[in-house]
A and B are shown apart, each in its own frame.
Chain A
Amino acid sequence: MASSAPADAMTLRSRIWSWVTTTDHKRIGILYGVSAFAFFMLGGFEALIMRLQLSGPDAGIVSADTYNQLFTMHGTTMVFLAVMPLSAAFFNFVVPLQIGARDVAFPRLNAFSYWVFLLGGLFMNVSFLVGAAPNAGWFGYANLTSAQFSPGVNVDFWAIGLQILGIASIAAGINFIVTIVNLRAPGMRLMRMPVFTWMTLVTQFIVVTAFPVITVALVFLMFDRTFGTNFYSVAAGGEVLLWQHLFWLFGHPEVYILILPAMGIVSEVIPTFSRKPLFGYAVVVYSGLLIAILGWGVWAHHMFQVGLGPIADSVFAATTMLIAIPTGVKIFNWIATMWGGKLNFTTAMLFSVGFIAMFIIGGLSGVMHSSPPADLQQTDTYFVVAHFHYVLVGGAVLGLFSGIYYWWPKVFGRMLSESIGKWHFWLTVIGANLTFFPMHFIGLLGMPRRIYTYDAALGLDTMNLVATIGAFAMALGSLVFVGNVLWTWRKGEAADANPWDGAMLEWAMPSPPPVYNFSVIPTVKSRLPLWSEDGYEPKPLPEDPPGPIHLPGGSYWPFVTAVGIIVAAAGLLTGSLWVALAGIGVLVVGIYAWALEPFEV
């Protein structure tokens, strides 16, 4: 457009500015995706260092203290900064399109959620630069985290950082609940919603109810460390178990926050590439709801080893086994969808099928943990590490990659390379199994988690080496994906509106969608709008909107408000009252300017 250098600088600046001030759900979705993937690579890098350290006995790659920081930040990063925001990328981009909306209910709140997440994630990772990364595990058990046993700022970075991320999650949760409840196109009844939208709704209900609980736990921790309160102080009669209860009361629902979006993605991908509607739609939806509800009643299975007594143990064992039922139902529904279908094994489909296979293995070892006597042998060993990585890598991450291949053409208007994608898939799946399958045996043979080295006499060298090789294969897979993105950027085949012949509304508009999404808000008449003769009206959507469409403009106040929160947090961390007050000042100015600026959705 512009030819002179200053003009180029101007356009670059205004382009950056347009991203900072954007309130378009599609652009915010892209921002979430890019940031989350960067954190995913960072978390993966931390895992590689750990695997190098464990590739042989008594390796001296990192010190015990560095190792503590690595496993703490690996867990925290993957859960809060990679998988959750990658899911958020899909919520943002896909949900408004699937329900026939022009944006989310609160576009500025949406931008705010993103900026708080990004700045909160950076805040936590700055700890590496000052050599004081969190080091008490992603579960941060009291009283390991007390001022007495963790005197540095490591735990402060973690406790404050997680509270910031909680703000982002709760704000986004409220936003998407309202969006899905209130902004559906005419005719899009609840039981016509795509399963991905359903799982998003269920996930957001868990988010807005679970995050306040960990917020309270973290506030107690912060007060104990900063003001000398006694919440987790045994000397004052407090109980360290209070932390475990609050943390896992949040922590187990969090597991479903991580997996339900991936289940939603798989429920979109498998029908598309089986050329069949999802088998038992209603049962899949209700199973998701049931998982969310039961997910609140199983937290103490993380705590069998503390000795809650036979009655509590039995109750939590039973609820944990119960939750396998709706999960199993979903798996059978996906398999039944494929049964007799015209299967097309695209990369997206491969990742979804990989999800089912890996998730079954992770689910089986999960049911093993539900039995307290078995769990007592497995807890704090690599067996547990194997279990939750099958669920989170084999489940959540494969599901998210499936979604990336599935919706990439819609987002960017280009097809990711299928041949490179297959390399990506096989490297990831083979790598994941090489890494995590031996860990079942490593754990049952007695190797504990979170220990930076092991003795040669344990005889676990070979299996640990295999696990390390697998980890590098997975890392190579992720690099292949980056290569695929770069290749697609330059040479990718252009995508038409509906390259996979999908059934849902997001495929009814051009790829990438115009800024207003739908030229005319369609009236939905079917659960599979694009697969039925009269699924939606008007059909097809007109190329240009018949009249002017009001779109909300950009706003920089969400960003300013987010900055205020981070500055206040930095003041809290450093104990500087003035910095904290400055942050609160920016926050207050941001909120008022936000509330008063003319902005119509």
Chain B
Amino acid sequence: MTHAEATHHTSTGLDSRKIGMWAFIGSECLLFGSLISTYLVYQGKSVAGPTTHEILNIPLTSVSTFVLLMSSLAMVLALAAVTRGDTLWTRVWLATTALLGLIFLGFQAYEFTTFVHEGLTLQTNLFGSTFFVLTGTHGAHVAVGVLWLLSLLVRSFQGKLGAEKALNVELAGLYWHFVDVVWIVIFTVVYLLQ
């Protein structure tokens, strides 16, 4: 907690920013819920072009899913490190989390380009439209998360991320875990339950 919060009384005893982040995550649930529902409604309705089983590469995406899951583990370790005031391991685990996020984005960029070469674009069919917008929105969330983690890393190198700022890491962590959980749902719905 920051000094300001430490002296502030709140009704729940929780920091306002934490409740705000939970409210934001609640809002995001409806965003992804609408995207996933649309994907499900349009599943199997494409009239042309390649769809799910013809094009999705499950082994490859399983690897990137594993990478993203591991990034959540690194995130937990980063928060633990910053809470106990361990600067070195804070940096290591923040960097690891961001790196794993970047690797996930690399997989996604590879997947998208492969699909385009195989003839699946936004315009090809309903599968293309719903798949790219759903996974692209998720990818954009990962990208924002990576920027956030890298910003925290910079703050750490500036000496501005001590144990008293652990909440800043915790907030990024809440967001990161949420984006991770959303991916598990997407992976299950899009890739596994074709």
Indicate whether A and B interact: yes
Binding site for B on A (CB under 8 A): 105-106, 170, 173-175, 177-179, 181-184, 186, 188, 208-213, 215-217, 219-220, 223, 227-231, 236-239, 242, 246, 249, 592, 595, 600-601
A216→B35 contact, CB < 8 A = yes
- Contact present for A182 and B23 (CB under 8 Å): no
Nearest CB in chain B to that of A109: its residue: B20
Select A208's contact among B16, B27, B38, B133, beta carbons within 8 Å. B27
From residue A6, how far is it (CB to closest CB) to chain B in Å? 39
Known: A209-B27, A601-B4. A230 touches B125 (CB 8 A): yes
Question: Among B23, B42, B123, B151, which residue has its beta carbon within 8 angstroms of that of A178?
Answer: B23
Decide: A236 and B126 in contact? CB cutoff 8 A: yes
Other than the given A174-B24, A236-B47, A595-B151, 5 more pairs (CB < 8 A) read A105-B16, A212-B27, A216-B31, A217-B34, A228-B122
B52 CB, min distance to chain A CBs, angstroms: 15
A385 → B minimal CB distance (Å)? 29
Kindly provide the distance from the CB of A472 to the nearest chain B CB, expressed in whole angstroms: 42
B129 contacts chain A at the CB level, 8 A cutoff:
yes
Asked whether B118 is an interface residue with its Cβ less than 8 Å from the other chain, the reply is no
Q: Is A216 touching B38 in the complex (CB atoms < 8 A)?
A: yes
Q: How far is the CA of A217 from the CA of B35 in the complex (A)?
A: 9
Docked-complex contact A106 and B16, CB < 8 angstroms: yes
Q: How far is the CB of A33 from chain B (nearest CB, A)?
A: 25
Cα separation A209 to B130 with both chains bound (whole Å): 21
* CB closest residue in chain A, given B30: A212
**What separation, in Å, do the CA atoms of A178 and B125 have in the docked complex?**
42
B133 in complex: contacting residue of A173, A223, A242, CB < 8 Å: A223
Given contacts A106-B16, A211-B27, A246-B34, contact A182 B10 (CB under 8 A): yes
Could you tell me if A182 and B16 are in contact, using CB atoms closer than 8 angstroms? Answer: yes
Let me know if B126 and A228 touch, CB within 8 A: no
Interface status of B193 (Cβ within 8 A of chain A): no
Residues of A contacting B31 with CB < 8 Å?
212-213, 215-216
* Binary flags per residue of B10-22, CB closer than 8 Å to A gives 1, else 0: 1110101101100
How far, in whole Å, are A184 and B42 apart by their CA atoms in the complex? 46
Find out whether the CB atom of B125 lies under 8 angstroms from the CB atom of A236.
Answer: yes
Chain A residues contacting B126 (CB-CB under 8 Å) are 230-231, 236-238
- Does A229 contact B122, Cβ atoms closer than 8 Å? yes
Chain B residues within an 8 Å CB radius of A184: 11
B residues in contact with A211, CB < 8 Å: 27
B53: interface (CB < 8 Å): no
List of A residues within 8 angstroms of B27 by Cβ: 170, 173-174, 208-209, 211-212
A177, A216, A231, A237: the one contacting B46 at CB < 8 Å is: A237
- Is A208's CB under 8 angstroms from B26's CB? yes
What's the Cα separation between A242 and B38 when bound, in Å? 8
Instruction: Check A174/B4 contact, CB under 8 A, given A213-B30, A216-B31.
Output: no
- Specify which chain B residues have a CB less than 8 angstroms from the CB of A228 in the assembled complex: 122-123
Indicate whether A174 sits within 8 Å of B133 (C-beta atoms), given known contacts A186-B9, A208-B26, A209-B30: no
- Complex CA gap A395/B4 in Å reads 42
Sample 20 A-B pairs with CB under 8 A, ordered by A number.
Answer: A105-B19, A174-B20, A179-B16, A182-B12, A182-B19, A183-B10, A183-B11, A213-B34, A216-B38, A223-B122, A227-B123, A230-B123, A230-B126, A231-B130, A237-B42, A238-B42, A238-B129, A242-B41, A249-B34, A592-B151
Q: Is the CB of B122 within 8 A of A600?
A: no
Residue on A nearest B133 in the bound complex, by CB: A223
B84 at interface by CB-CB < 8 Å:
no
> CB within 8 Å of A: which of B100-134?
122-123, 125-126, 128-130, 133
On chain A, the residues within 8 Å of B41 by CB distance are 239, 242
Min distance, Cβ A193 to any Cβ of chain B, angstroms: 11
A219 neighbours in B (Cβ, 8 Å):
133, 137
Q: Which residues of A contact B10 (CB under 8 A)?
A: 182-183
Q: Which residue on chain B has the smallest CB distance to residue A595?
A: B151
Residue of A nearest to B21 (CB): A174
